Structure 1
């Protein structure tokens, strides 16, 4: 299965200067719970924005057009088809985790969407690409818990393709 997993503000902002524009530990926990022991696919800029540190206990796939790109502890792939071929034979889930270009590449291939909506507007330079929401059905929406570490109202949503 190919799934998308991302967080965005109300305007679709997903990043700022290579990092997340907010601090929301609940969302990071949600991300970890969904992706642990699965595969995550991200672009080179997203990976480098995380300090070039692979996520533990996951297959980290870095998608880049640079044929010479190398990084420790990750699998580098150079095409959408290479990722799709991997996902077809992989027994667990393959999560598309960003950035915008990688999300655009797999819009027709996703089976499930996991979206965290963070209430509010944040300064950002990266947006989630347009999605035809008519193709998707929401099956779950769970409000996140607010506390001293999670100050922004947020909702965890799950969609399946109609």
Structure 2
């Protein structure tokens, strides 16, 4: 089974992906963590590294290609990242997590240890804009088009366990009766 988990920064994609991987014994790969590691390796903040990636598509394309390659070669995998739903075309389940900007900013301040909400907002909005531009330029993907997703969940309303329970039910249904061809 192949599952993708996508959403904007701070929506909880990594937390849900880790939960699902642990609960079901799946392998997890995360584009965001790879991107953050690359930023650190280049001694850059995320927004700054995003601007670098804007000028050199090789960074994004390398991460995206690697995720896609791994996902196509493995079964029982969770692929987490903004473009995962688009890149892993044959995923059995494609999940999008939604949370308001205020909720996401609080999470980002805590996760990335940013000094305050105002700074987090500037960094996050710039990052989201840079990514949206790159996705459109590189792949002709509109990140706001959610039509490809099987499930859209509000991670502001529910915590990881509750979101996990919903997805666990979907996984159980898929295992019991694979989706019909359309």
TM over 0.5: no
Q: Which structure shows the bigger proportion of residues in helix conformation?
A: 2
TM-score, normalised relative to structure 1: 0.44
TM-score of the superposed pair, with normalisation by structure 2:
0.40
More strand by share: 1
